[in-house]
């Protein structure tokens, strides 16, 4: 999906983004790309305190997610977050939402509001800017709308990255500060437009930060700047 122009944020947005990255960094210590992202532009991370261990995910949940193996989006429908406590199932649904849009059905601002509704209500962990980077800018959206462009997504697979799984096995209590899970999702995005209903398709993959606190539905914390295997 095309990305829009950068949107300058205030100091509070920078702090939220840095804190989100810090939390995920605790369990993704092997990702050099993420570490570089957290420290660029002079930002430094401070290790958050870790609460006593609660109920870490089982080894089976780290491998696969229950439910349908494929998530398919429908054109013309704004994305609605599912109510699930499974971070992988939520991550797959979130990736499908992020890879989809329909300029024929709604304006850019409505899609942006709909995707922000997927974010956690805990402001210090919600990185809205990382979501906005995947949405076409208003100017680009207008050009796309003139051609009736839309995109649908198929998600085939979601999993916890290897580094995340290893870190949890070594320190299960590390996640109990914010209950943010890293989820890598793979699938396909198909783009079509007026006069070209078949369009073109390309493989997509992304790593998401998903918050799933006990006894609460999962929510999106942000989109990571690089894909974790």
pLDDT in tens, 167-178: 989 998 889 989
Is the predicted pLDDT of residue 74 greater than 70, yes or no? no
H or E segment at 82? none
Other beta carbons within 10 angstroms of residue 205's beta carbon come to 15
Predicted local distance difference test score (pLDDT) of residue 76: 78
192 within 8 A of 198, measured Cβ to Cβ = yes
Residue predicted with more confidence, 114 or 37: 114
* C-alpha neighbours within 13 Å on the C-beta side of residue 97: 25
CA distance 62 to 25: 18
Predicted local distance difference test score (pLDDT) of residue 42: 31
* C-alpha neighbours within 13 Å on the C-beta side of residue 103: 23
DSSP-derived secondary structure for 31-57? -HHHHHHHHGGG----PPP-PPP--PP
Is the predicted pLDDT of residue 151 greater than 60, yes or no? yes
- Using left for φ > 0, alpha for ψ between -120 and 50, and beta otherwise, residue 215 falls in left
Task: Reduce the DSSP state of residue 97 to 3 states and report it.
Answer: helix
Residue 62 confidence class, pLDDT cut points 50, 70, 90: very low
In sequence order, the β-bridge partners of residue 152 are: 190
Task: Reduce the DSSP state of residue 220 to 3 states and report it.
Answer: strand
Q: Which residues contact 51 (CB under 8 A, 6 or more apart)?
A: 173, 176, 177
Is the predicted pLDDT of residue 56 greater than 50, yes or no? no
pLDDT in tens, 77-88: 899 999 999 999
Q: What percentage of the chain exceeds 90 in pLDDT?
A: 59
Other beta carbons within 10 angstroms of residue 229's beta carbon come to 11
Is the predicted pLDDT of residue 13 greater than 60, yes or no? no
> According to DSSP H, which parts of 120-204 are helical?
128-132, 138-146, 162-170
Residue 196 confidence class, pLDDT cut points 50, 70, 90: confident
Predicted local distance difference test score (pLDDT) of residue 200: 85
CA distance 157 to 61: 13
Residue predicted with more confidence, 3 or 229: 229
Q: Global pTM?
A: 0.73
């Amino acid at each position: 999906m095309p990305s829009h122009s950068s949107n300058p944020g205030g100091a509070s947005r920078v702090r939220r983004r840095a804190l989100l990255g810090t939390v995920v960094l605790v369990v993704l210590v092997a990702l050099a790309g993420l570490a570089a992202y957290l420290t660029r532009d002079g930002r430094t991370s401070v290790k958050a305190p870790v609460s006593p261990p609660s109920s870490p995910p089982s080894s089976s949940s780290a491998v696969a997610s229950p439910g349908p193996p494929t998530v398919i989006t429908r054109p013309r429908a704004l994305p609605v977050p599912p109510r699930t406590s499974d971070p992988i199932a939520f991550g797959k649904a979130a990736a499908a939402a992020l890879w989809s849009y329909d300029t024929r059905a709604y304006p850019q601002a409505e899609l942006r509001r709909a995707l922000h509704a997927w974010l956690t209500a805990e402001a210090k962990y919600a990185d809205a800017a990382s979501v906005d980077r995947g949405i076409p800018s208003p100017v680009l959206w207008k050009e796309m709308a003139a051609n009736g462009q839309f995109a649908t997504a198929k998600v085939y697979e979601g999993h916890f990255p290897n580094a995340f799984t290893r870190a949890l096995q070594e320190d299960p209590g590390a996640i109990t500060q914010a209950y943010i899970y890293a989820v890598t999702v793979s699938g396909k995005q198909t783009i079509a437009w007026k006069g070209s209903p078949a369009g073109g398709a390309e493989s997509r993959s992304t790593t998401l930060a998903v918050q799933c606190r006990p006894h609460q539905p999962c929510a999106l914390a942000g989109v990571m700047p690089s894909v974790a295997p």
